[in-house]
Amino acid sequence: NKKKIALIPGDGIGQEVIKQGVKVLKTVESLDENIEFEFTDFPWGCEYYLETGKMMAEDGLDQLSSFDSIYLGAVGYPTVPDHISLWDLLLKIRKGFDQYVNLRPVKLLHPGLTPLKGKSREDIDFLVIRENSEGEYSGKGDWLFEGNPEEVVLQTGVFSRKGTERIIRYAFEEARRQKKKLTSISKANALNYSMVFWDQVFNEVATDYPEVETESYLVDAASMFFVREPERFEIVVTSNLFGDILTDLGAAITGGLGVATGANINPEKKYPSMFEPVHGSAPDIAGKGLANPLAAIWSVAQMMDFFGEKQWSDKIEKTLEDVLVHESELTPDMGGKSTTDGLGDFFCLKLKEL
Ligand code: NAI
Ligand code: MG
C-alpha cells in the first residue's frame, strides 16, 4: 500500500512547515507496517520563477498527475506579484486537477484557542465544504468604457448545473456517511439568478437523501451564527466566494492561521488531490524558526483521511489536541517558546506515545 506524495514546499515558511509535516508522515510510516510513502520534491515557487520565469515546470501538471497526493506549503514572495504566484501554480493545480471540493474543518482543538466567550469544544466542531472550481471565482467578466464616465465593470458568477450539483451531492454523501445535519449557505434574496439556482439544486438533490436533515441560511445570517451560535452547524455546503470568506471566519473562531487547514479534493480520484495549510508564506517571519507547523500537520491528518486511513487522521488530530495543552512547547504565535523544528519533533514524540 505505497502512496506517492508530491512535495511542493514553495516559499518562505511553506518550506519550514512542510518539513515538519514530512516528519509526521515518516513517523506514521515507522509506526504502521502497512503504510509506506514515497516522497518526491518539486522545487517550484517564486524562487524558481525568478530563475526561470515560470512558477512551475512547463509540463508540471503531467509530472504531478501520477501522484496519490500533493502536499503544498505556500507560495508568495515580496518581489513576485501575488496574482502570478497564485494563478500560475496554486490555481493551475486546483483547476487543472479538477479539485472542485475544498474541505475546511472548523474545529476547536483546544478551548483556549477561541475568542468566543463561553464556547466549548463541542460547540465549535463542523466541516465547511466549499465549491472550489467555479461560481463567483469563474474569472469571467468584462471591463467596458474604461476610463470614461460611463465605465462599467462586470464580474460574472458562473453556476453550471454540473458544477453546482456535484458539490451539493458530495456534501449530502458526506452528511449521510457521517450521520450529520447538512446546512446550505446561499443568498437567494439578493442574488436572484445564481443563488435561486443554488437553492433549487440543493432542494432537488435533498430528495435523494431523505435521511439527511437539512437547513438553509442566508450568508449574512450564517456569518452571525458562526460567531454567536456555532453549535448550529455540523456540515456546511456553500459557494466559492462565500466559502472563502466563511472559512477565514471559521479559522478566526478556532485559533487562526497557525492551525487552519484545507484540502482540495478531486473525489473521483482521476487526478491527485492537494493538501495545504491555509496560511501563506509569511515573509515577515520566514527563515527564523517562528512558523507554527500545526496547520501543515493537520493537513497530514486530512491526507490520511483521504487515503482511507481514518485511524491515523484520528490519531494525528488527537495528538494535536494533546500538544496544544503544552503551552511552552508551542511556537511564539501561540504564546510558546519553541521553534518550528522543536514543535515538529515534540509532535512526533507525542504521536509515538499515543
Ligand atoms: P500569511 O498567511 O503569509 O501571513 C499573515 C500573518 O500571519 C503574518 O503576520 C504571518 O507572520 C502570520 N502567520 C501566517 N502563518 C503563520 C504560521 N504558520 N505561524 C505563525 N504565524 C503565521 O498571509 P500574507 O502575509 O497575506 O501573505 C504572504 C504571502 O503569502 C503573499 O505573497 C500571499 O500571496 C501568499 N499566500 C499564499 C497562500 C498559499 O500559497 N496558499 C495563501 C495565502 C497567502
Ligand atoms: Mg482565502
Confidence (pLDDT) at 185: 98
Quote the CA–CA distance of 119 and 125 in Å, as a whole number.
Answer: 11
Confidence (pLDDT) at 265: 98
Report whether residue 281 contacts ligand 1, using a CB cutoff of 6 Å.
yes
The pTM (predicted TM-score) of the whole model is 0.95
Around ion ligand 2, residues with a beta carbon closer than 5 Å are 244
Kindly report the protein residue whose alpha carbon is nearest to atom 32 of ligand 1.
Answer: 76
Confidence (pLDDT) at 195: 98
Q: Nine-digit cell at 245?
A: 470568506
Which residue type sits at 188? A
Confidence (pLDDT) at 139: 86
Residue among 90, 261, 281 to mutate when testing ligand 1 (max atoms within 8 A of CB):
281
Nearest of 126, 111, 106 to residue 325 by alpha carbon: 111
Kindly report the protein residue whose alpha carbon is nearest to atom 10 of ligand 1.
Answer: 282
Distance 350 CA to ligand 1 centre (A): 27
Distance 33 CA to ligand 2 centre (A): 37
Report whether residue 166 contacts ligand 1, using a CB cutoff of 6 Å.
no
How would you write the pLDDT of the chain (354 residues) with one tens digit per residue? Answer: 799 999 999 999 999 999 999 999 999 999 999 999 999 999 999 999 999 999 999 999 999 999 999 999 999 999 999 999 999 999 999 999 999 999 999 999 999 999 999 999 999 999 999 999 999 998 899 999 999 999 999 999 999 999 999 999 999 999 999 999 999 999 999 999 999 999 999 999 999 999 999 999 999 999 999 999 999 999 999 999 999 999 999 999 999 999 999 999 999 999 999 999 999 999 999 999 999 999 999 999 999 999 999 999 999 999 999 999 999 999 999 999 999 999 999 999 999 999
Quote the CA–CA distance of 275 and 76 in Å, as a whole number.
Answer: 17
SS (H, E, C) the chain: CEEEEEEEEECCHHHHHHHHHHHHHHHHHHHCCCCEEEEEECCCCHHHHHHHCCCCCCCHHHHHCCCCEEEEEECCECCECHHHHHHHHHHHHHHHCCCCEEEEEEECCCHHHCCCCCCCCCCCEEEEEEECCCEEEEEEEEEECCCCCCCEEEEEEECCHHHHHHHHHHHHHHHHHHCCCEEEEECCCCCCCHHHHHHHHHHHHHCCCCCCCEEEEEHHHHHHHHHHCHHHCCEEEECHHHHHHHHHHHHHCCCCHHHCEEEEECCCCCCCEEEEECCCCCCCCCCCCCCCCHHHHHHHHHHHHHCCCHHHHHHHHHHHHHHHCCHHHCCHHHCCCCCHHHHHHHHHHHHHHC
- Identify the CATH homologous superfamily for domain 1-108+257-354: Isopropylmalate Dehydrogenase (3.40.718.10)
**Domain 115-253 is in which class?**
alpha beta
Residue among 70, 82, 279 to mutate when testing ligand 1 (max atoms within 8 A of CB):
279
- Nearest ligand 1 atom, CA 333: 20
- Residue written as cell 435521511? 211
Report whether residue 330 contacts ligand 1, using a CB cutoff of 6 Å.
no
Which residue type sits at 175? A
Domain with CATH 3.40.718.10 in the chain: 1-108+257-354, 115-253
Kindly report the protein residue whose alpha carbon is nearest to atom 33 of ligand 1.
Answer: 76
Kindly report the protein residue whose alpha carbon is nearest to atom 44 of ligand 1.
Answer: 280
